Structure 1
Amino acid sequence: MVRLAGSCLRAAVVALSLLAGAAHAEDSQPSPIGQEIDWIIPFSAGGGSDTWAHFLAPLLARHLPGNPQVNIVNEAGGGGTRGANIFAARAEPDGRMILGTSGSTQFPYLLGDFRVHYDYEDWTVLATSPTGGVVFVSAGLGLESWRDIRKLRDRRLVFASQGPTSLDLVPFLAFRLLGLEVQYVFGYTGRHDGLTAMIEGDVNIDYQTTASVLRNLMPAFQSGDLVPLMSWGVMGPDGRTQRDPTFPDLPTVEEVYEHLYGQPPSGPDYEIYHAFFIAGFAAQKMVVIPSDTPEPLRRIWLEAWGKLLKDPDFHEGAPAALGVYPLLIGDEAEDLARRALRIDPDIRRRVHQILARDFSIKLSE
């Protein structure tokens, strides 16, 4: 209650100062959000979220009043929760700190992870975008293409993970659905660390989100050093999974399942996988500010995002850097985010049971 009262007071002070100086808010005047913005990314440098933020940051700076410097601040740890906790504790309603979230921030929140000290209800979503990802294996496993996936049934597979309540829950559920036996090595602070482990030969199966795939992996796929197996796909208008337009030649998990078993997936295991695929990837990347940020500051941010969407450099560079996915802002972003943050209670309960049985993890209901 004290925290809320203090936040409201700070918000009122900021709002009054903005209104008092609104007539002077031209580009030649000092920016109402200052000359430096901290963009918290709760993962290590080099991964998909970091790549995504580094692509967007200079474009945002171009369209924010006063062209402030947008600093990417990597706060990895806690399976994606540490950086979000830092933002929740430190961000003021002054527009000078934003947070970039991903499924690894969403999932612990949805599952009741004890490390979560943040609440999405305390944040306003400025922008959100779906993304995709690709599962791949080391060429040393003897596969030439995804069609050889049956060979993995008698292989020892090792996966570097941020933790089972992070976005890594999606591959965990997918591998389980496909009948692959995988050993999970926990303690990694981001997907880029998992990629490093893959390159160094410590693990032999991995996935990366689209931005990281495009930045780091295409040469290895082309040379055959790494073999792509499948993409997560994208959610179609009918709620069914379709091939990812960024990786149109790669099958979805559903297609790989049908290749293995001769029929499309169905039943409880598929329902669980599909629900968390939607929660993790349909609104995978979000940019948020504190919900008590004054409306004039929120408008400044939304106007900057709107200008970014019209920027020719964004349209030219985004497909190669981030993939072929829409970027939503304002009310559309908020609506998509809220839908992605809803999980059926029965599915949540079943995931709790799986995590307790397979990893001895007890989560609050």
Structure 2
Amino acid sequence: MKIIQMSRRDLLALTMCLAELLAGSIAQAQTVDEFYRNKNIDLYVGFSAGGGYDVYARMIARHMGRHMPGNPNIIVKQMEGAGSVRLANWLYAIAPKDGTTFGTFARGVPLDPLFGNPGPQFKDGSAFTYIGSANNEVSVCGVSAKSGIKSFSDLFDKEVIVGGFGAGTESEQHVKLSNAVLGTKFKLVKGYPGGNDVNLALSRGEVQGRCGWSWTSIRGAEQMGQVKDGSLLIIVQNSIEKHADLPNVPLITDFVKNEDQRKMLELVLAPQKLGRPFFGPPGIPADRLAALQKAFADTMTDPQFLEAADKIQLEISPISGAEMEKIIRDAYATDQALVKRTGDAIR
């Protein structure tokens, strides 16, 4: 019999390989309930604490664990940076892919590679797994009454300073697109960590307004009082359809001059339907992904969750992970010439 001699390094590599195979076999033998029992699930938010994405995540985290097999704890963590692209890249390339980690980042980020925006390490938004979204969002532009702007039409003649917090966020994309396509005179100040920081800058007079601002965030915050007293004016809806609360506020598509302009706006506005989206890393085992998706959907109809959301005026109008994925895939199927013109406009 021939004896095979192995170096210590080869023996160690073989041992590690066998250990990984054994661990994988054990994991495959576990039920979803057994896997999640006594575990924590990390829910990462790509923006600073206190903003809309953070508020939704914390509300969902308090209730979703009850609907998960094994009833794991869901712990919210922040990973802000680059308009939440930092989190998207981490989820794509580094995060555990075993179903113990998911996150929420700017709904426009999955389209960044489509438009050629710098930063993403993924080639297209379909690289992620899709958990679900808490609502179908409508974004707006709000300006201080002190700015002298009375309506969106004023922006064709007068400059207004607005704050932005990342190239992939609506706070910047909607502004750049409006300037490039419609000819408005927004002046964009970049570099804020998140929407809450732009709101603070607005209150201090550092900026005069904010665009790509989720109406649901305004409804549930102190800014709603400013809307009611007239010190904050909502001048346009950056959406394809109007919100029921804002029947007299025009859509940005009302100002297009031709069909190409409309198509460019609608391509960038498509992620509005994603609302407050929750994504997982690629490669989550199918049974655990299904459990996460079902638990999310069940949370969205949980009476305790809905009562808690209503108390702080969080709008809940969910869409499924499958619906989210279709929106992204449809965007990537758009005519490339139109995509290029749109990408050039928002960079």
TM class by shorter-chain length?
0.7 to 0.9
Residue 221 of structure 1: how far off its partner (Å) = 0.6
Q: Could you say if the C-alpha distance between residues 40 and 118 of structure 1 is closer, same or farther in structure 2, counting changes exceeding 3 Å?
A: farther
One-letter amino acid matched to 1:124: T
**CA pair 304-82 structure 1, distance change in 2 beyond 3 A:** same
Q: What residue is the counterpart of 2:250 in the other structure? A: 251
The alignment status of 1:276 with 2:268, answered yes or no, reads yes
Task: From the superposition, tell whether residues 324 and 66 of structure 1 become closer, same or farther in structure 2 (CA, over 3 Å).
Answer: closer
String of CA shifts for 1:169-198, please: whole Å, max 9, x gaps: 123223444432121112222222222211
Which of 60, 64, 68 is the matching residue for 2:68? 64
Residues 332 and 161 of structure 1: CA distance in aligned 2, closer, same or farther (over 3 Å): closer
Larger Rg: 2
Please report how far the alpha carbon of residue 139 of structure 1 lies from its aligned counterpart in structure 2 after TM superposition.
1.0
Give the Cα–Cα distance (whole angstroms) in 1 for the partners of residues 325 and 156 of structure 2.
42
Letter of the aligned partner of 1:266 in structure 2? N
Which amino acid in structure 1 is aligned with residue 219 of structure 2? L
Contact 1:18-1:32 at 8 Å conserved across structures: no
TM-score, normalised via structure 2 length? 0.81
Which of 139, 144, 147 matches 1:138? 144
Decide whether aligned partners of structure 1 residues 13 and 140 sit closer, same or farther in structure 2, where only a CA change above 3 A counts.
farther
Q: Quick one: which of 38, 42, 50 aligns to 1:38? A: 42
Larger deviation, residues 201-210 vs 45-54: 45-54
Q: Does the C-alpha gap of structure 1 residues 58 and 324 become closer, same or farther in structure 2, counting only changes over 3 Å?
A: closer
Query: Which shows bigger deviation, 110-119 or 200-209?
Result: 110-119
- Residues 1:150 and 1:59: Cα distance change in structure 2 (over 3 Å): same
Q: Partner of 1:170 in structure 2? A: 174
Alpha-carbon spacing, 1:180–1:121, altered in 2? closer, same or farther (3 Å): closer
Partner of 1:76: 80
- What is the alpha-carbon root mean square deviation over aligned residues? 3.0
Give the structure 1 partner of residue 163 of structure 2. 160
Question: Corresponding residue for 1:223?
Answer: 229
Structure 1 counterpart of 2:261, which letter? D
Q: Is the 8 A contact 2:85 2:168 kept in 1?
A: no
- 3-state SS of paired residue (2:36): coil
Using a 3 Å threshold, how does the CA distance of structure 1 residues 330 and 154 change in structure 2: closer, same or farther?
closer
Instruction: Name the TM-score, length of structure 1 as normaliser.
Output: 0.77
1:281, CA displacement in angstroms? 1.0
Shift of 1:206: 0.9
CA deviations on 1:234-254 (whole Å, 9 max, x unpaired) are: xxxxxxx33113434432223
Decide whether the 8 Å contact of 1:15 with 1:294 is kept in 2.
Answer: no
Check conservation: 2:105, 2:278, Cα contact below 8 A.
yes
Contact 2:115 2:344 in 1 (8 A): no
**Any gaps of 5 or more consecutive residues in structure 2?**
1-17
Report if aligned partners of 1:104, 1:165 keep a CA contact under 8 Å in 2. Answer: yes
Judge conservation of contact 2:43–2:75 (CA < 8 Å) in 1.
yes
| Aligned sequence identity (%) | 22
Letter in 2 for 1:287: F
**Aligned 1:258-269 pairs, distance under 5 A:** 265-269=257-261
- The correspondence for 2:127, drawn from 122, 132, 143, is 122
Residue number in structure 1 paired with 2:338: 347
